[in-house]
């Protein structure tokens, strides 16, 4: 009788254990998926924010810029000047702005919402700069007395004028264009992560 009772208890324990395993299995799979996604998420952020990609320059825009000032005073005479040079705008995305919320998993694909594109750097080729001025003697004297410096005035205008010129001539790409190019080259990242990566 005691042996039968013991056997019965063992059978009940085994049934409970089996039921528990059956119930826990989906939970364990979900838990594993969560940890696996967390790993992939961290790996993706680490890769996108690596030194090689932290400032993702999508476009290097080079253009010759002309900044000018032209004034003509009946009493004082002519005040005219030009500053000509080559400017380079580095345009792209600061990947340090990415967060975990920027990365989502949908239909076994990884969607990465990139930060807004912006100016990353701006440079002027100093050797290319040419300053040309034409001023009357009276204007030159008045400028000197008033502490005016035409060259400095034009230098201060150079960057804003250059960026405005590039925008007006549609040299700076829009977000759709940038995303299209990045998605066409995302296969390397896809191979590294193990999931198809789509930038948006």
Whether the CB-CB separation of 110 and 62 falls below 8 Å is answered with: no
* pLDDT confidence of residue 55: 56
Please tell me the pTM assigned to this model: 0.68
Q: How far apart, in Å, are the Cα atoms of 59 and each of 65, 95, 182, 188?
A: 18, 15, 12, 20
Whether the CB-CB separation of 105 and 37 falls below 8 Å is answered with: yes
Tally of CB atoms within 10 A around 152: 9
Whether the CB-CB separation of 119 and 47 falls below 8 Å is answered with: no
Whole-number Å distance between alpha carbons of 140 and 150: 10
pLDDT in tens, 42-89: 666 666 655 545 557 788 999 999 999 888 878 788 888 899 999 999
* pLDDT confidence of residue 12: 33
Whether the CB-CB separation of 125 and 88 falls below 8 Å is answered with: yes
How many Cα atoms are found within 13 Å in the side-chain-facing hemisphere of 110?
25
Which residue positions in the chain have pLDDT lower than 50?
A: 1-35, 52
* pLDDT confidence of residue 176: 92
Tally of CB atoms within 10 A around 48: 22
* pLDDT confidence of residue 97: 86
Report the candidate in 163, 184, 200, 188 with the shortest Cα–Cα distance to residue 52.
188
3-state secondary structure of 169: coil
Whole-number Å distance between alpha carbons of 28 and 78: 83
* pLDDT confidence of residue 50: 56
């Amino acid at each position: 009788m005691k042996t039968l009772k013991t056997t019965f208890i063992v059978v009940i324990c085994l049934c409970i254990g089996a039921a528990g395993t059956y119930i826990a299995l989906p939970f364990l799979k979900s838990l594993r998926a969560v940890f696996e996604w967390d790993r992939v998420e961290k790996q993706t952020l680490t890769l996108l924010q690596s030194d090689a990609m932290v400032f993702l320059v999508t476009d290097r825009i080079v253009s010759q810029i002309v900044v000018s000032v032209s004034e003509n005073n009946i009493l004082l005479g002519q005040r005219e000047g030009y500053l000509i040079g080559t400017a380079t705008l580095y345009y792209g995305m600061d990947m340090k702005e990415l967060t975990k919320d920027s990365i989502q998993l949908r239909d076994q694909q990884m969607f990465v919402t990139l930060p807004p594109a912006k100016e990353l750097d701006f440079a002027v080729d100093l050797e290319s700069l040419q300053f040309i001025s034409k001023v009357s003697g009276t204007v030159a004297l008045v400028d000197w007395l008033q502490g005016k410096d035409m060259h400095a005035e034009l230098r201060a205008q150079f960057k804003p004028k250059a960026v405005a010129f590039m925008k007006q001539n549609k040299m700076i790409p829009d977000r759709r264009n940038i995303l299209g190019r990045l998605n066409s080259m995302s296969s390397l990242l896809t191979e590294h992560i193990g999931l198809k990566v789509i930038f948006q």
